[in-house]
Structure 1
Amino acid sequence: MNYRIASALFVVGVGGIAGCVRVQPAPAFVETSCTAPRFVSPFTAVDPCSAEAVLVAALVAMFSYTPATESDQQAAFTAAAPLLTPDYAARGRSAATVILPITVATWQQWRTAAVAVDAEAHLTGDDHPVDTDTAIYRVMALTLRPSDASASLTFTAYVTAGRTDRATAWRLSGIEVLG
């Protein structure tokens, strides 16, 4: 599947951090000239100079849920804010409940049964536009695993990360989720 044109990545996302966040290892290539400061807790282990590591951590945080203690997906999205561009964090929060096809009924069922939902994200080998010093585009696989016996939910996410220069951290700046 070819990556969609970057201009199509205007859709906003949802997020959250629930329980234990699993972050995949950083990619082999990490920029050496980046001087960005570390992220705040709970994201101190995420390399701010690795756009791909930031994207994986952001998706895991945005889509891991604890419905028993979160009223909706907006709580999880807010928790992921340190990994998002300020503009995306501001405009995306209101769309947090609609980015994934999780119905209110499903959320309430998870809440009643105290089901936690752990997200897993990884980069795919799909084509994407050429990286620049300030923007990258990736195709990622996203899996939500409810803690009960229900089936996992799988999605494809087209994501963008941006930064202003090599002294600032990469942050997720756009997402479109299909599936």
Structure 2
Amino acid sequence: MATTTVNAAKVAEGDKLIAEAEKCLKTNWLKWNADLDGAAHAFDKAALCFRNAKALDKSKDAYERAAEIYYRNHALFSAGKSLEQAANLCKEQGRMEDSSECLERASAMYHESGHADTAGQVLRKAAKLVEAISPRKAAQYYLSTAELHETEEKYRDAASAVRYAVSMYTRARE
């Protein structure tokens, strides 16, 4: 019984942080620019509160909002991190397709921020998630991973990713 009140308290704390983040985003005639740093930080804290309260859908939404704000603020690596957290929540819920899509978006953020190696690792993680349910999609992720490794001149890693892609395409034909 005590855990439900703690959970409700954490959800209420998360809701309060969401309201604080929304307030940071508002502008008026005295405040011309939105406080993007404050909003992103509040969304991240809210997501953590929701996660601790086991309100995983609300937590995922808060992480995605934080990623959106980080992107608007040109903090692409942080946006990728938030999207990775959202993907982890989807994975916990057994929603592998949603998780892989979040990881794909996170990879794009990492790549855009100049961290191609991290982008490749995240795409490989996305491929592993969908291997069983969608081998063709996994193969596409592996091929994208190979391209990223090739741009970084990591040819062994690129060759390994291509082998996995071939394996997935073979599995898809069976």
The reply to whether TM is greater than 0.5 is: no
Between Structure 1 and Structure 2, which shows a larger proportion of helix residues? Answer: 2
Which has the higher Rg, Structure 1 or Structure 2?
2
TM-score after normalising by structure 2: 0.26
Looking at both structures, which has the greater relative contact order when contacts are Cα pairs under 8 Å and sequence separation is at least 6?
A: 1
Q: TM-score, normalised by structure 1?
A: 0.25
